[in-house]
Structures are given as C-alpha cells and as structure tokens.
A and B are shown apart, each in its own frame.
Chain A
Amino acid sequence: MSSTPKLDTEALATASRAAEAPPTGYVKTRPGGKRRESVWRGFFRKPSTIIYLGLIAVMVLASFVGPLFAGDPVATTHPQFLPPSADFLLGTDHLGRDYLARVLAGGQVSLLVGFSVAILCMTLGLIIGGVAGFYGGFWDTALVKLAEFFQVLPGIVLALVAAALLGANVWIIVVILSITMWPAVARIVRAEAMRIAQLGYVESQRAAGFKSLRILISDVLPNAMPPVIVATTMTVGRAILIESSLAFLGIGDSNNPSWGALLNSAQSYMATGWWLALFPGLAIFIVVLAINMLGDSLNDALNPSIGKVK
C-alpha cells in the first residue's frame, strides 16, 4: 500500500478525517438514543436545512408531479424558438416543443439516476467496507485493492467506454456509475468499522458470545452511519453531475433525455436560443448545490468536531 492517503472526493476527505478523530462520530447509544435524537432535531430545526430540503423537494415534486400539469414534452405543435413568456415559461425549442415540459421530464431521469446511484453505492459501501474493516486480514487487502482499482481508472472514462460499448439506457448508466462510485463510501465505512471494532462494547459483545456477523450488522454498521450518511448525500450530487456530463457527451438514453442531454442539443443553438442552454443547467446547479449544502450541514451536525477552530 502506498503511504499517501488516497482521496477522491470532498466528502471522503472530510468524512475520513472524521473517522480519524477518535472521540467523535461514535455515540455509545443505539441509533434512536437520546443524544442522536437531539442531534437530528437540532438539524431539522436549522433554517438553512429547511431551505435546502425545501429546494430539493420542490425540484423532485416538479419533476415527478409537474409533468401531469405541464404540456406534452414531445408535441412539436408550437412555434419554434419562442423565448420564455407567460404562455411558455421556459420558451420552446428548435422543434417547437414546450421547453418547460422537457426540463421537467428531464429532471425525472437526472434525479432518478442520482438517488438510485447513491442508494446502490451506500449498500455496496456498507457491505464491502463493513466486511473489509471489521474482518480485516485477507478480505481487507482484497477489497482495498478492488477499491483502488476503481479509483485509478477515472469513473467518467470507464463509464463513457462501458456505456458506449454496452448501450446506454437509464439503468445501465445507474449500474455503471454505482460500480465506479462505491469506493468513496466503502472507504469511509471501512475506516469506521475498523475503529468501532476496537471499542470495548464490541469486545464485550464478542465475550458474550455473539456471532461476529451479528455484531457487524447490529452494532458496528449503525454506529458507522453518521459519516456514511454525509458521503451518500454527496454521492447524489456527484452522480447527477457525472450523469449529466455523460448525457452531454451524447452517452445516455435518447428516449428519455436528461438535463445533460437537453444541454447537448442546446449547444447547437446557443446564439439563437439562450434559454435552451440556460435552464437545464440551472436545474442541475440548484439541485446539486442544495444537496452539497445539505451534506455540509449534515456533516456539521453529525460529526460536530470537524471543521471548527478551537
């Protein structure tokens, strides 16, 4: 193993630092215990949290409920290149389609990919990182090498090549992105699991004769959750960004254009229709910004000693 710590995301950097700092993160009550409850309550009472969550909720609702009220995203019956107006809030595109309807429909793809990838990454990360960190030895070496592999080959190139070769519907993209992005979460779980495995109460569980798998699932992983939640949140944002880059490069499901795909076609009409290139990008920006801000304040709430000057 090389001596330099391998970092690849901001979330990883802050959260792994969280993992190194001994007294934090770990709370010796089960999840749902008093201290954790008050942490969550404090978190949800912060006005900034409400703003970020509100922004995300608005974008999710708009994308999944909005299309019921907006026009037909594929009807080409309107005049072409209408700038935004009261009739067409986001204007119309080069084929005379209602751009608001298209942006809302595009959000479904982007958000679905973002959340699915994050959930898959968290699951993979918990299993792989948990096993590696808790059992150690051969498993640890093997799984760390596996994670290293995916960090050497940059996700976007692997995703690009794989999607180009295997075809690119939404679920293939989700799987490819998850395969390239899980190490960020797994690394954090591993560090946490290693730390928690040393703690006295795990030892006492062992002494009491509990099976190690049971200890892993009911004690180690739940206590590893705070930094994992932060990393998973950040993963949503990163997945949306990477998916939109791929779609912008023309790798994506052409029947269900995501925000990135809309920007791909907008590039040809930048001089004629500025709104075509503006709104899908703005949508990505708002969602990813809200998610990253939420991740930051989650980090402040769940890993309180990080990022404070003494």
Chain B
Amino acid sequence: MKAVLLHYGKLLLSSLLLFLAVLTVLFLLLEIAPGDPVQSLIGDNPVSDEFRAQVTAAFGLDRPIWERYVIYIANVFQGNLGYSFGSSMTVSELIMSRIGNTLALALPAFVISTLGGLLIGAIAASTRSRWLDGGMSGLAVALFSIPNFWLGLLLIMLFSITLGWLPVQGKGPYGSEGISPEYLILPMLTMATSELAYKARIMRSSMIESLGQDFVDTARSKGLSRNQVLWRHAMPNALLPMVTVSGYSLGFALAGSVVVERVFGWPGMGLLLLDAIQRNNNQVVLGVTIVITISILIINILTDVVYGLVDPRLRARFSSKQGSAA
C-alpha cells in the first residue's frame, strides 16, 4: 500500500512540476514576443504619457519581471486566467462555455477510434490470410497518412456539397441551442480516423507480440478453440500498450481538435484558441493552452491508474516490498 501511495505521490509531484514548467515557458514566450502590450491596450489613439503610465501601472506592467511571474503563477493556481476584453467575460467563463462542445466531439471520437483500432488491429494480427492482414495494415497506414483536415474537406465536399446529406458547418441549425446529431457526424468521424489508424497499428504489433508468447502456446495445446485463445488469452495481454496509447491519444485529440474544429466551424476550445490568436488576445491564448495542458496531465495520471489496475504484474510489484515504480 505504501508503495502505491509513494508511486502516485511521485506522479502527482512530477505532473505539478511539468505544469509549472509549461506555465513558465508560456510566460517567457509572451515576454519575448514582439509587440507592446500597453500599446495594444490603448489602441492606436494618441495619448498622454501620464495616461500610458496609468495603464501600465493598472495592469502591473511596470513591476519587475519576476514579480509579474509570481503574480501570474499565483493567479493561475487560484483559477484566475484573466479577463477577455473582446467578449467581456473572464477567460475561465469563456473556456467553460466552449469545453463541452470540444468534449462532445472528442469523447465519441475516442470511443469509435479505440474500439475500431482494437478490432482492426486484432484481426490484422491474428488472421492467417496475408491478403486480409496486408489490406488492413495498408488501410491503417493510409488513414494515418491522410492530413486530417483534408479528409474533413473531402467529406464535406462529398456528403454536404455534392450529396447534400449532411450540414457543412456548425453544431446545429442557426439560432438553436445544443448540438444536433447530424452536425456531429462528419467532424466526429474526421477526428476518429487518424486516431483509429494509429491505434490499429499499435494493437496489431502488440497482438502479434502477445500471440508469440509461451502462454498462448500453452492455451493452444490445452485444446482451446482459436477464438478462445485469441480473445480470452492473447487479447487481454495485448491490451496493455493500448491503455497507454489511448490515454495519450485522448490528450492529443483535445489538442488536435483545433484542426477539426476549424474545418467544421465547430465552436469548441480549438476554435476559441484560433480566434484568440488571430485577434492577439493573449489572455485567452494562454488560458486555453493552460486548460489543454491540465487536461492532458490529468488524463496521463488517469492512464497510469488504469494501467496499474489492468496489469496484474504491476499490482503484484506494488504489494511486494521493493515495489516502487521503475
């Protein structure tokens, strides 16, 4: 038990340090970026020097860099991500209003890509038909090599413009609240595709490795059927790398949603980030990046927890004495 606590304590600590490092890099990037923040607050109007000094002082921009750094870190840890002048909302409110839309896209895409990747990878690994394996592996490489946004454009051109079956952009008819399912289909599929290809490739190599292990031979020699050997014995063992990969890919899907959201005009966090970048709204840019980083860190910790739950060898190591994580 102690080893488990130590392990997760270490994990939390290192996540926290990574988070601080990310915050620091963002802060420094903003510092070295060209452009005068005071000028952009004032706008292009000619103003007196006193007014300029007033604005500078009001935002604490006259303080030394380390002081601003400490204030900035303290604010982030209090959940204060700043204020967006463009939309008269705090950055946190702005992000909260968008994060649901991104999740509505990323979570179904995650489920589809994980199940699909598992199935395709397992079949490609276990089939005796070289043709089927080659076909599925080839498909996975192809989907993996398609630029995601281009696939989105092609889907729009086919299903929305040519066939007219599905809407082109947005999350629902104009003026409606919430998300309409027919608007979700294309962006969700676009997002799932490259993830699916990636997971299928990992699953295939993991399954091949699993099928080569001795316990599979044992199961076969006990006279179990092919399917039993495959799904009951080889599969659970092959799932372990998939847990890690899926966790990471979920984090990266949140970041990658920027591209899909841009293609489909999906009003999530990614689109918010892009708008903010175009308008030089640095508070929002920072805020979204911070939220994405936090999400990824949390997902990574959860991945580690799940990994510990599903891998009995790891549990055994924890319960033994010398069991701090390698």
Contacts and interface: CB of A to CB of B under 8 A. Distances in A.
Nearest to A270: B157
A167 B17 CA distance: 29
Interface of B: 7, 10-11, 14, 17-18, 21-22, 25-26, 29-30, 32-34, 125, 141-142, 144-150, 153-154, 156-157, 161, 198, 201-202, 205, 208-209, 211-212, 241, 243-245, 247-248, 251-252, 254-256, 258-259, 262-263, 273-274, 277-278, 282, 285, 289, 292-293, 296-297, 300, 303-304, 307-308, 314, 325-326
Interface in A262-310: 263, 266-267, 270-271, 274, 277-278, 280-281, 284-285, 288-289, 291-293, 296, 306-310
A266 B161 CA distance: 14
Contact of B255 (A4, A154, A241, A274): A154
Nearest to B19: A152
Interface of A: 1-8, 10, 13-14, 17, 145, 148-149, 152-154, 156-158, 160-162, 164-167, 237, 241, 244-245, 248-251, 260, 263, 266-267, 270-271, 274, 277-278, 280-281, 284-285, 288-289, 291-293, 296, 306-310
Contacts of A292: 141, 144-145
A254 to B, nearest CB: 13
23 contacts: A1-B326, A2-B325, A3-B304, A3-B308, A3-B314, A4-B247, A6-B248, A10-B202, A149-B21, A152-B22, A153-B25, A153-B296, A154-B255, A154-B292, A160-B274, A245-B149, A263-B150, A266-B153, A267-B263, A285-B147, A289-B145, A291-B145, A292-B141
B259 A249 contact: yes
Contacts of A148: 14, 18
B129 to A, nearest CB: 13
Nearest to B209: A17
A1 B147 contact: no
Nearest to A276: B153
Output the residue of A2, A153, A249, A288 with the most chain B CB within 10 A: A2
Given A153-B22, A162-B29, A309-B211, A17 B289 contact: no
A14 B205 contact: yes
Nearest to A274: B157
Contacts of A291: 145
Contact of A152 (B198, B209, B273, B297): B297
Contacts of B325: 1-3
Given A161-B289, A263-B149, 15 more contacts: A1-B325, A2-B325, A10-B201, A10-B202, A17-B209, A148-B18, A149-B18, A153-B25, A157-B255, A158-B289, A161-B277, A241-B145, A277-B154, A292-B144, A309-B212
A243 B326 CA distance: 36
B208 A7 contact: no
Nearest to A3: B325
A156 B258 contact: yes
A310 B243 CA distance: 25
